[in-house]
């Protein structure tokens, strides 16, 4: 991930399970924290007003995270469609990748409960932030 966005996330006692490592369900919360921080930073939006739903979430674990670990999550957008985008995440402890994640996010219209096109104020900052990102052609663009 070049010119990456990272977020330090404190490992809290409540995140730890009986095996003394972060419970697998907590990783989704860490993804959410990193995703919201990324979107607030890159798009300069209040994420509580941002209309998105997660349609896919994947996690892979290399080693457990413990209470004493200093956790950092790196985030990048790897695919940009007309209504959706894919984000990849690396969970790191002392620079070592301990888990990875991916979400597919959809810009959502709560009234129709259907996906809606990403407006320019979302698309353009994502394209600018993620150099090398090739967006899918928009419908009706003739591409």
Q: Is residue 117 part of a domain?
A: yes
Q: 123 phi and psi, to 5 degrees? A: -60, -50
The pLDDT-based confidence of 133 (bands split at 50, 70, 90) is confident
Residue numbers of the domain that contains 71: 5-129
Contact 21, 11 (CB under 8 A): no
Q: Does pLDDT of 54 surpass 70?
A: yes
Q: Is residue 44 part of a domain?
A: yes
The pLDDT-based confidence of 143 (bands split at 50, 70, 90) is very low
Report the DSSP pairing between strands 84-93 and 71-80: antiparallel
Higher pLDDT pick, 140 / 124? 124
Q: Is residue 68 part of a domain?
A: yes
DSSP 36-54: HHHHHHHH---GGG--EEE
Distances (CA, A) of 48 to 16, 45, 52, 123: 27, 9, 10, 19
Q: Is residue 115 part of a domain?
A: yes
Q: 3 phi and psi, to 5 degrees? A: 45, 50
CATH number, residue 103: 3.10.129.10
Q: Is residue 138 part of a domain?
A: no
Supply angle C-alpha 62, 67, 69, rounded to 5.
Answer: 60
Q: Is residue 89 part of a domain?
A: yes
Query: 130's torsion region: left (phi>0), alpha (psi -120 to 50) or beta?
Result: beta
Predicted confidence (pLDDT) per residue in 3-51, tens digit: 789 999 999 999 999 999 999 999 999 999 999 999 999 998 888 878 8
Predicted confidence (pLDDT) per residue in 55-111, tens digit: 999 999 999 999 999 999 999 999 999 999 999 999 999 999 999 999 999 999 999
Q: Is residue 91 part of a domain?
A: yes
The pLDDT-based confidence of 141 (bands split at 50, 70, 90) is low
- Overall number of domains in the chain: 1
Q: Is residue 92 part of a domain?
A: yes
């Amino acid at each position: 991930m070049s010119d990456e966005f990272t977020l330090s996330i404190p490992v809290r006692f409540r995140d730890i399970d009986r095996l003394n490592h972060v419970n697998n369900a907590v990783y989704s919360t860490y993804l959410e924290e990193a995703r919201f921080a990324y979107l607030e930073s890159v798009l300069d939006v209040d994420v509580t007003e941002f209309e998105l739903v997660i349609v896919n979430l994947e996690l892979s674990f290399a080693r457990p995270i413990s209470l004493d670990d200093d956790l950092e999550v790196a985030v990048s957008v790897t695919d940009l469609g007309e209504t959706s985008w894919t984000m990849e995440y690396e969970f790191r402890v002392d620079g070592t990748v301990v888990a990875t994640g991916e979400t597919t996010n959809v810009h959502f219209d709560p009234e129709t409960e259907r996906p809606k096109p990403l407006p320019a104020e979302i698309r353009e900052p994502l394209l600018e932030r993620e150099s090398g990102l090739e967006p899918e052609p928009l419908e009706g663009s003739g591409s």
